[in-house]
C-alpha cells in the first residue's frame, strides 16, 4: 500500500473516531411540583434527592453502591412554597455520586425519580414513612431538556402483620426524652410462643433479637409470612420462648442500642426502661438467667456488645458476622495507625465489600461518597447510613452539634483525636482491659459465628478477638467462636437454629 495513502486513510479513520466519540454537553434542569393531595403533609424544609438510574428493574430511589447502575444527587431546600413549582437549573451545587453533573450528562437512556426527604426529625433515611416521591420518568439525554417531576406519592407508615402471636410494643423513653429535650419513643415487636394464650399463668424466657443494619421492628413480618417457619413455630415442637425484635432506628441511623455522646442514652433506655416494661407486660420471667440476645451483622456486634457491657443482664449471646470488634481492623482500615481510610499505603482504593471469592464490589470511598449525598450536612455524618451510624456511636460531638467525623468526608484523612475516642467502643480493647472482672461474668455466654470470606472483611478483626480469648488466663475463656471456610456475611444465620440453641441452654439450667 502506498505510504501516503495509508497515512491519509489513518488520519480519516482517527478523525472519524474522535468526532463520533465526542458528546455534546447535555444539560438537565428540573421542575418539581407537589401533588394537590399531598400538600397538607408537605413540609417546606427538607433535602431533595434526584435518583438517575440506568435500569427500571427497581425503582431508582432504591439504587445504591450495593446494586449499582445509577447516580444520586442531593441538595437542601428551605422555604419551599408548596403552591409554587420548584425550578432547579443545571447548576453545579448538587452533592453527587457521579463524576458528571447536570451540566454534562452522558448520552443515554435513564430513569429518573425524585424523593423529598422531609422527615428527618423522626427517621434517619430518605426512604422512610412520611417522605414524598415521584413516579419514575424515562428520558433520553441526546438533547438538553427540562424534566418535570411531581411529588405524587407518600411513603406509608409501618404496620405489623395481623396475627394472634404478634404484638406491637411502644413506650416513651424518659431518659431519651430528657436527653433530647423532646418526646422520644422506642418500639419493638413481640412474637409470642404458641402456648402463650392457653397458659395464662405461665411465665416465659425471652430472646432479644437485634437487626442487621437499620433493621426495624417490622422485620417480624417476614417471619410471619414464612409458611415453613410459622408451621414449625405453631407446632408442639417449637420452643416456648418469647422473641422481642428491637428497633434499629436512631437519630443518626442505627442506634446500636448503646449510649453515645451523639444519639443519647439508648443503652440505658434498653436496660432500664424497655426490658423491664416489656417483661412486665408479656409474662416474661424477668430473670437474667432466662434472658438472651442475638443478631447478625450490626445485630451480631450489638448482641456481643450488650453481653460484654451488661454481662449481668443477659445469660448468653449468639452473635453472627458481627461488625468490626477491633478498630485496628475496621474492615481493612487500622483506625489508630493508618493516615487515610480510602487509600492504603500503596495508594490503592480500599474495598468495603467483596463477593465470597474475593472480587471487590465497591470501595469505602464510593460508600462514603453516597452517604455524603444522603446526609443533610452534605457529609456522611448525617447520612443515616452505615458509616454515619458508626461515626455517631463512636465519635465525640462536634462544635456544630453533629458527630465529629472520624475521617475527612472528601479525601479520607483520619482524625487521630477522634480515633482515640473510638477506643471506648473497641470490643477487643474493652474485653482485654477488663478481663479479670469480665471473664467470670461471661463464662458460657459467648457464641460467635463468622464466615471466613465475610463480604465486609469482618473475619479479620474477629480472628484477633478469637486469638485473645484463646490465650486468656484467670479465667480461661470458654467462648465458642466458629469460623466457616468460604462462607460470606450472615450465611449461616437462622432464627430457628438460634431458638433451638437457646432451648438447649434452658434445658441445662433446669
Topology at the third CATH level for domain 24-154:
Immunoglobulin-like (2.60.40)
Output the pLDDT for position 25. 67
DSSP, res 271: I
What confidence tens digit (pLDDT) does each residue in 147-159 have? 999 999 999 999 9
Output the pLDDT for position 90. 75
Output the pLDDT for position 69. 73
Residue 151 φ then ψ, to 5°? -75, 95
Q: Does the pLDDT of residue 9 top 60, yes or no?
A: no
Output the pLDDT for position 3. 41
| Interval 474-499 mean pLDDT | 98
In angstroms, the CA 439 to CA 72 distance is 47
Output the pLDDT for position 14. 36
Q: Does the pLDDT of residue 484 top 50, yes or no?
A: yes
Selecting from 3.20.20.70, 3.40.50.1820, 3.10.450.50, 3.30.479.20, what CATH number does the domain 166-326+426-509 have? 3.40.50.1820
Output the pLDDT for position 27. 93
Output the pLDDT for position 508. 87
Cα diameter, the chain: 102
Is 112 strand, coil or helix?
A: strand
In angstroms, the CA 286 to CA 242 distance is 12
CA distances in angstroms from 341 to 231, 337, 365, listed in the order given = 47, 10, 8
| Interval 79-88 mean pLDDT | 94
Q: Does the pLDDT of residue 127 top 60, yes or no?
A: yes
Query: Do the domains 166-326+426-509 and 24-154 match in fold?
Result: no
β-pair partners for 109: 140
Angle in degrees, CA 445, 448, 454, rounded to 5: 165
Output the pLDDT for position 2. 45
Q: Does the pLDDT of residue 79 top 80, yes or no?
A: yes
Look at 53-67, 291-305, 385-399 and tell me which has the smallest mean pLDDT: 53-67
Query: 199 Cβ partners below 8 Å, 6+ apart?
Result: none
- Report the chain's terminal Cα–Cα distance, integer Å: 95
What confidence tens digit (pLDDT) does each residue in 335-354 have? 999 999 999 999 999 999 99
β-pair partners for 210: 295
Q: Does the pLDDT of residue 215 top 50, yes or no?
A: yes
On the question of a cis peptide bond just before residue 29, with omega within 30 degrees of 0, the verdict is no
Q: Are 446 and 479 in contact (CB under 8 A)?
A: yes
| Interval 59-75 mean pLDDT | 91
- pLDDT band for position 23 (cuts 50, 70, 90): low
- pLDDT band for position 362 (cuts 50, 70, 90): very high
Closest CA to 299 of 216, 404, 423, 402: 216
Q: Does the pLDDT of residue 247 top 70, yes or no?
A: yes
Q: Does the pLDDT of residue 164 top 80, yes or no?
A: yes
What confidence tens digit (pLDDT) does each residue in 280-318 have? 999 999 999 999 999 999 999 999 999 999 999 999 999
CA distances in angstroms from 424 to 67, 86, 335, 454, 494, listed in the order given = 34, 46, 13, 25, 31
Q: Does the pLDDT of residue 10 top 50, yes or no?
A: no
- Residue 335, C-alpha cell as written in the block: 483506625
Percent over 70 (pLDDT), the chain: 95
Output the pLDDT for position 125. 86
Domain ranges of the chain: 24-154, 166-326+426-509, 328-424
Q: What is the pTM of this model?
A: 0.93
| Interval 207-230 mean pLDDT | 96
In angstroms, the CA 260 to CA 35 distance is 40
Average pLDDT, the chain: 93
- pLDDT band for position 1 (cuts 50, 70, 90): very low
Closest CA to 185 of 209, 204, 158: 158
Output the pLDDT for position 167. 98
Q: Does the pLDDT of residue 51 top 60, yes or no?
A: yes
Output the pLDDT for position 93. 85
- pLDDT band for position 11 (cuts 50, 70, 90): very low
Q: Does the pLDDT of residue 210 top 50, yes or no?
A: yes
Q: Does the pLDDT of residue 60 top 90, yes or no?
A: yes
- Count of CB atoms within 10 A of residue 345's CB? 8
What confidence tens digit (pLDDT) does each residue in 419-467 have? 999 999 999 999 999 999 999 999 999 999 999 999 999 999 999 999 9
Q: Does the pLDDT of residue 120 top 90, yes or no?
A: no
Amino acid at each position: 500500500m502506498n505510504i501516503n495513502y495509508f497515512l491519509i486513510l489513518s488520519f480519516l479513520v482517527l478523525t472519524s473516531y474522535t468526532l463520533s466519540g465526542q458528546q455534546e454537553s447535555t444539560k438537565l434542569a428540573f421542575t418539581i411540583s407537589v401533588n394537590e393531595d399531598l400538600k397538607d403533609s408537605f413540609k417546606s424544609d427538607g433535602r431533595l434527592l434526584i435518583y438517575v438510574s440506568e435500569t427500571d428493574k427497581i425503582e431508582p430511589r432504591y439504587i445504591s453502591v450495593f446494586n449499582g447502575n445509577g447516580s444520586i444527587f442531593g441538595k437542601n431546600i428551605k422555604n419551599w412554597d408548596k403552591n409554587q413549582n420548584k425550578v432547579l437549573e443545571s447548576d453545579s451545587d448538587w452533592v453527587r455520586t457521579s463524576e458528571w453533573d447536570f451540566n454534562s450528562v452522558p448520552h443515554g437512556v435513564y430513569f429518573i425519580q425524585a424523593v423529598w426527604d422531609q422527615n428527618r426529625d423522626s427517621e434517619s433515611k430518605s426512604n422512610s414513612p412520611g417522605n414524598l416521591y415521584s413516579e419514575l420518568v424515562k428520558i433520553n439525554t441526546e438533547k438538553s431538556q427540562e424534566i418535570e417531576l411531581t411529588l405524587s406519592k407518600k411513603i406509608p407508615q409501618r404496620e405489623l402483620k395481623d396475627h394472634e402471636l404478634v404484638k406491637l410494643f411502644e413506650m416513651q423513653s424518659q431518659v431519651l426524652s430528657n436527653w433530647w429535650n423532646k418526646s422520644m419513643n422506642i418500639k419493638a415487636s413481640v412474637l409470642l410462643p404458641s402456648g402463650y394464650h392457653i397458659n395464662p399463668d405461665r411465665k416465659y424466657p425471652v430472646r432479644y433479637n437485634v437487626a442487621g443494619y437499620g433493621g426495624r421492628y417490622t422485620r417480624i413480618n417476614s417471619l410471619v409470612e414464612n409458611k415453613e417457619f410459622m408451621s414449625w413455630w405453631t407446632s408442639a415442637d417449637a420452643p416456648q420462648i418469647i422473641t422481642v425484635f428491637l428497633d434499629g432506628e436512631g437519630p443518626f441511623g442505627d442506634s446500636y442500642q448503646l449510649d453515645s455522646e451523639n444519639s443519647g442514652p439508648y443503652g440505658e433506655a434498653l436496660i432500664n426502661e424497655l426490658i423491664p416494661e416489656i417483661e412486665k407486660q408479656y409474662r416474661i420471667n424477668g430473670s437474667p438467667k432466662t434472658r438472651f440476645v442475638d443478631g447478625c451483622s450490626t445485630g451480631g456486634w450489638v448482641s456481643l456488645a450488650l453481653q460484654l457491657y451488661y454481662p449481668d443482664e443477659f445469660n448468653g449471646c449468639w452473635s453472627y458476622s458481627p461488625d468490626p470488634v477491633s478498630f485496628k481492623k475496621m474492615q481493612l482500615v487500622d483506625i489508630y495507625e493508618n493516615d487515610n481510610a480510602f487509600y492504603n499505603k500503596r495508594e490503592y482504593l480500599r474495598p468495603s465489600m467483596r463477593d465470597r471469592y474475593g472480587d471487590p464490589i465497591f470501595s469505602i470511598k464510593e460508600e462514603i461518597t453516597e452517604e455524603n449525598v444522603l446526609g443533610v450536612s452534605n457529609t456522611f455524618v448525617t447520612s443515616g447510613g452505615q458509616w454515619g451510624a458508626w461515626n455517631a456511636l463512636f465519635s465525640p460531638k462536634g462544635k456544630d452539634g453533629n458527630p465529629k467525623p472520624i475521617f475527612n468526608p472528601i479525601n479520607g484523612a483520619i482524625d487521630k483525636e477522634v480515633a482515640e475516642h473510638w477506643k471506648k467502643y473497641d470490643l477487643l480493647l474493652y474485653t482485654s482491659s477488663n478481663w479479670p472482672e469480665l471473664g467470670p461474668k461471661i463464662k458460657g455466654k459467648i457464641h460467635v459465628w463468622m464466615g471466613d470470606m465475610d463480604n465486609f472483611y469482618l473475619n479479620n478483626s474477629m480472628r484477633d478477638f478469637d486469638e485473645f480469648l484463646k490465650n486468656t488466663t484467670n479465667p480461661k475463656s470458654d467462648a465458642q467462636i466458629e469460623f466457616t471456610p468460604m462462607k460470606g456475611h450472615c450465611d449461616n444465620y437462622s432464627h430457628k437454629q438460634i431458638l433451638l440453641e437457646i432451648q438447649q441452654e434452658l434445658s441445662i439450667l433446669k
